[in-house]
Structure 1
Amino acid sequence: MSSGNYPVDAFYVAPSVGFDVLPGALLRYRSAALPTLGRPYQAWQLVYASRTGRHSPIPASGIVVAPPTPGPDSAVAVYCPPFRGLGGRCAPSQVFTDAAPDPDLRAVSAALERGWIVAVPDGQCLGVTGLGPHTFLAGTDAAHTVLDLARAARTIPDLDAAGAPCVIWGYADGGRAAVWAAESQPRYAPALDLRGVAAGAVVADPGGLVPRLDRGPWSGLVLAGLIGLSHAYSHLTIDHLFTTGATAAIAHASGLDAGQILDSFRDHRLATWCTRADPWNDHRWQYVLTSEATGAQIPAVPVHLYHGSADALIPVEMGQQLYAEYRLMGAEATWRDYDTGHTGTAVAGAADALDQLTEDLNHLPGHPRPPAA
């Protein structure tokens, strides 16, 4: 059997997961090598139990990388990468083991240099065979996948990390996953010792972003978002707007990585595949897109938000609005903007984000922070 041009790896074949299996339970793991890191780090590919946004049991996959000799005081940092695709072989836990360098390994390396154990989720319905397409933009799905990987990583038998504190870091769609995890953690994983979250270029309001990106260089992301949300909200049959002619395009896109999606659907309009020119204004889609806006719950941990003032993909105003909402809600939030674009901010903001997370880890929950200088 094969998936695309790659043979099916039995490790990633979806195991059966029932309601009796706790979220975050480690279902299987194996050692892995990351040849491009250039250092003797330890790594493990994981399949673990999680929950969908509707709380149905589902397996998920990811990868955990640790320093050669992590100490008992090591923290677990979950790094949430930007959108990598809807299908095919683009899951971090699989691609990181290739000989070719991967751009997200730069962030992983930066976190490893802090002495942390780094866990990277593949994303719900990505990585594990037969579950796709990836539920791109579905916030609760992403949050559960992130929080359950943090729980699973701490139980790897080869690590002494059972009581390790955790932080979460992400950018773009990964930043969205990070803030959804921050908002979901008090209810979904209250026992997890989460200390802080850093999130850059957060897609806080997908409904406000879709019309901006339609028929432009990023229009493939709009189609990918509709496909991902249609999968996550399949119980609402929100694919009612897709035309019969859209079937082939959707099936094709569902097996592509991010680069292929952007190349294949550049400058397209949703009207090409939908029965109306503004599908985002359909009442069912308005419900979904409204449900996918961040800021509905108060994070219990500090959240550091950052954004590029010249971001042409995700407007900086979206991040500023989320920061303002968090402050009004009484959440502990900080903000930093950079005089650069989307890609530049991912690089420029990394060190500051890691510094903030380091400070969060050094601060004991329940103790007041010293006043800012």
Structure 2
Amino acid sequence: MRTNRLRALRHLSGRTARRVLVLGSAMVLLGSGASHTAAWAAPTAPEDDPFYSTPRDIADRSNGTVLRNREIRMFGLPLRVSAWQLNYRTTGSDDRPVASIATVLVSATPWSGPGPRPLLSYQVAEDSLGARCAPSVALHRGPDSAVSSTVIEMPFIVDALRQGWAVIIPDYQGPGSRFLDGEHAARAVLDGMRAARSFAPAGLSTDSKIGAWGYSGGAFATLWAAEQRGRYAPELPIVGVTAGGVPVDIATIARDADGGARAGLTMLIVLALMRNATGPELAALMNERGRAVMVAESASCGTDLLARYLDAKIDDYAKTPGLLTHQAFLAAAQRQELGNQTPDIPLYLYHSTTDEVVPVAGFEALLRRYCSSKSTVVERHSSADGHNGTAMSEAAGALAFLTDRFDGTPLTPGCDRA
């Protein structure tokens, strides 16, 4: 099992092994006075923490209302950054009220640009089935295997804080950990922006410009929010969105990973789509072994699944062969695809031509849909090595795009493809 876990982590991200180094860099950049022997905070797990609970009167509150707040120490350390957790009202994809969590960060670096301090909503690639894997847990508790995605994306968050921006990191999968539920994610992101702007200690105002950024699973949530903004939260002044490694053509991603080193990704996608489904058709395709997995992995992180299902074939968990081409699976995946709405926000999209996780063909198809609908898109094909390499190498361009939008630099409408 130990060998399998190490292999899985290498295939998940070359950055995971460097998460302690990344966090150390964050502490230096943010001016931590903590020693190397400082103990990590160990807050209560979300399911046992009253802060995460849903208030009884949530149905009477409007979307984006802050229901509770508390100040925390990011990673449990005395960093030079103010940090709060917000419990706020949003609406799930089933149109029921949901209490969601987000972490708001404001560094000591002042904002020197035009207007009030801007807000960046950064969507971490949560990619999980359990609340213990959520970014709010990582940012409060510190690094462990369950929250490695948040920790390895800290350089991007730190860069944003160094610009003097406020940053909100939403648990956009919600208390039910609904991975690949686009509508739920979009609403949680947008209502998180509403909550942050109304939260006085963050120092924002209704005139604060807003940006959004995410990579991989975080890009999925980010672009869903961009597509839904016009009809769900048109008052939000979102001036720019950056997204890379966007999961498009979910069914193909699952088929490509099946039976190989990333087979745990296939399992994650199948289990997530079952959770998000409006009916029992997809779950009914699983055999007894598959039903046992549905129960056993109901709160697992993506790293857990990648470690446990190396080289697994999803049909070994299905009643009959061909689950990944079955109409029930294809329909569930199609409901979560991007490109059905035209974002009215300038976009900066980047993708590796050698992406081994998300085939570039799906990204190209999404670009064609956006460009044919007259979206304003700056697109960059990256020559970086694969999915994870592109996250690091193209981050500077993503940050520069957002910086220009917050500074008010003009952008020519249309599609700029390179």
Partner of 1:288: 332
CA–CA distance in 2 between the matches of 1:152 and 1:94?
19
Q: Bigger shift: 5-14 or 263-272?
A: 5-14
Q: Are 1:213 and 2:265 an aligned pair?
A: no
TM-score (norm 2): 0.80
Partner of 1:103: 152
Partner secondary structure for residue 168 of structure 2: strand
> Please, which runs of 5 or more residues in structure 1 have no aligned partner?
none
TM-superposed CA distance for 1:255, in Å, is: 1.6
CA–CA distance in 1 between the matches of 2:158 and 2:190?
21
Q: Are 1:170 and 2:214 an aligned pair?
A: yes
Q: Are 1:45 and 2:85 an aligned pair?
A: yes
CA–CA distance in 2 between the matches of 1:255 and 1:205?
25
Partner of 1:345: 390
Q: Are 1:190 and 2:239 an aligned pair?
A: no
Equivalent residue for 2:168, pick from 119, 122, 130: 119
Partner of 2:34: none
CA–CA distance in 1 between the matches of 2:349 and 2:186?
17
Query: Is the contact between residue 166 and residue 202 of structure 2 (CA under 8 Å) also seen in structure 1?
Result: no
TM-superposed CA distance for 1:363, in Å, is: 3.1
Q: Are 1:319 and 2:363 an aligned pair?
A: yes
TM-superposed CA distance for 1:88, in Å, is: 5.0
Q: 1:235 to 1:325 in 2, by over 3 A?
A: same
CA–CA distance in 2 between the matches of 1:84 and 1:287?
21
Partner of 1:181: 225
Q: 1:7 to 1:318 in 2, by over 3 A?
A: closer
**What amino acid sits opposite 2:299 in the alignment?**
G
CA-to-partner distance for each residue in 1:148-180, whole Å, 9 max, x for gaps?
A: 111111111312213121111000011111111
TM-superposed CA distance for 1:123, in Å, is: 2.5
CA–CA distance in 2 between the matches of 1:147 and 1:327?
24
Query: Is the contact between residue 195 and residue 302 of structure 1 (CA under 8 Å) also seen in structure 2?
Result: yes
**What amino acid sits opposite 1:57 in the alignment?**
P
CA–CA distance in 1 between the matches of 2:342 and 2:365?
15
CA–CA distance in 1 between the matches of 2:57 and 2:258?
38
Query: Is the contact between residue 53 and residue 232 of structure 1 (CA under 8 Å) also seen in structure 2?
Result: no
> Please, which runs of 5 or more residues in structure 2 have no aligned partner?
1-42, 145-150
CA–CA distance in 2 between the matches of 1:370 and 1:10?
47
**What amino acid sits opposite 2:305 in the alignment?**
I
Partner of 2:22: none
Q: Bigger shift: 323-332 or 97-106?
A: 97-106
Q: Are 1:298 and 2:347 an aligned pair?
A: no
Query: Is the contact between residue 37 and residue 105 of structure 1 (CA under 8 Å) also seen in structure 2?
Result: no
Partner of 1:90: 133
Q: Bigger shift: 199-208 or 90-99?
A: 90-99
Partner of 2:104: 64
Q: 1:47 to 1:5 in 2, by over 3 A?
A: closer
Overall identity of the aligned pairs, in %: 28
CA–CA distance in 2 between the matches of 1:146 and 1:360?
19
Equivalent residue for 1:355, pick from 400, 406, 409: 400
TM-score (norm 1): 0.89
Q: 1:368 to 1:206 in 2, by over 3 A?
A: closer
Q: 1:109 to 1:279 in 2, by over 3 A?
A: same
CA–CA distance in 1 between the matches of 2:158 and 2:372?
35
Higher helix share: 2
**What amino acid sits opposite 2:375 in the alignment?**
A
**What amino acid sits opposite 2:403 in the alignment?**
T
CA–CA distance in 2 between the matches of 1:152 and 1:274?
43
Partner of 2:272: 228
TM-superposed CA distance for 1:120, in Å, is: 0.7
Query: Is the contact between residue 85 and residue 104 of structure 2 (CA under 8 Å) also seen in structure 1?
Result: yes
Equivalent residue for 1:20, pick from 55, 60, 64: 60
Q: Are 1:155 and 2:195 an aligned pair?
A: no
CA-to-partner distance for each residue in 1:239-298, whole Å, 9 max, x for gaps?
A: 221223222212222222221111011211111222232223332332222222211110
Partner of 1:335: 379
**What amino acid sits opposite 1:82 in the alignment?**
A
Partner secondary structure for residue 304 of structure 1: strand
CA-to-partner distance for each residue in 1:87-120, whole Å, 9 max, x for gaps?
A: 1522111111234482122221011111111111
Partner secondary structure for residue 133 of structure 2: coil
The aligned length equals: 362
**What amino acid sits opposite 2:61 in the alignment?**
V
Partner secondary structure for residue 74 of structure 2: coil
Q: Are 1:269 and 2:313 an aligned pair?
A: yes
CA–CA distance in 2 between the matches of 1:311 and 1:234?
31
Q: 1:294 to 1:370 in 2, by over 3 A?
A: closer
Q: CA RMSD in A?
A: 2.5
Query: Is the contact between residue 4 and residue 88 of structure 1 (CA under 8 Å) also seen in structure 2?
Result: no
**What amino acid sits opposite 1:108 in the alignment?**
I
